[in-house]
Amino acid sequence: MIRKLSHTCIYVLDQDRAKAFYTEKLGFAVRADVSMGGEFEGARAGFRWLTVGPADQPDVEIILADPRMGNDDASAEQIRALVAKGALGTGVMATDDVQKTYEELSARGVVFTQEPASRPYGVEAIFRDDSGNWFSLTQHTGDES
């Protein structure tokens, strides 16, 4: 039986830039940064396994994946184009105070495409990472059950 989600994947255009963005701007912790060889069946000559996650949520790892990981060249280029275009919304990041977090992240250079606004489910702002992926930053209100 599945117990929980432990990893999720976000495709990024440059893993070094993404690592800096997620750690320095969002304040995430690096969970793993390992060069994997070609010993894995179907793997290319190798790939970099780079994961980060919120400091207060140690059991969650976000894989900052190069689009070539697990994909042929044509698919990797299609993924890169979608990421760069900003066509991929990758998730919701929760906070207790959207306005405060918005101000903190903006001061660190995070680009917001929507300022905090009231929604039926709480307060939300939208930001992009350095590759173009967008996220909802949400402060939930009311009954979440």
Indicate whether 2 belongs to any domain.
no
Taking the model in full, what pTM does it have?
Answer: 0.89
Which tokens go with 116? 């905090």
Confidence of residue 78 (pLDDT cuts 50, 70, 90): very high
9: Cβ contacts below 8 Å, ≥ 6 apart? 62, 63, 65
Q: Is the pLDDT of residue 38 over 90?
A: no
Task: Tell me the per-residue pLDDT of 114-145, one tens digit each, with 9 for 90 and over.
Answer: 999 999 999 999 999 999 999 999 999 865 54
What is the distance between the alpha carbons of residues 53 and 57, in angstroms, rounded to a whole number?
7
What integer pLDDT is reported at residue 58 of this predicted model? 93
Total domains, the chain: 1
Q: Which domain holds residue 58?
A: 7-140
- Confidence band for 88, pLDDT divided at 50, 70 and 90: confident
- Residue 126's Cβ-count burial label (10 Å; 0-12, 13-18, 19+) is middle
CATH of the domain at 75: 3.10.180.10
Pairing mode, if any, of strands 134-140 and 89-94?
parallel
What's the confidence (pLDDT) of residue 145?
43
pLDDT score recorded for residue 59: 94
Kindly state whether residue 145 falls inside one of the protein's structural domains.
Answer: no
| Residue 1 included in any domain | no
Mean pLDDT value across the chain: 91
Burial label for 13, CB within 10 Å (0-12, 13-18, 19+), is: middle
Does 34 fall in a domain? yes
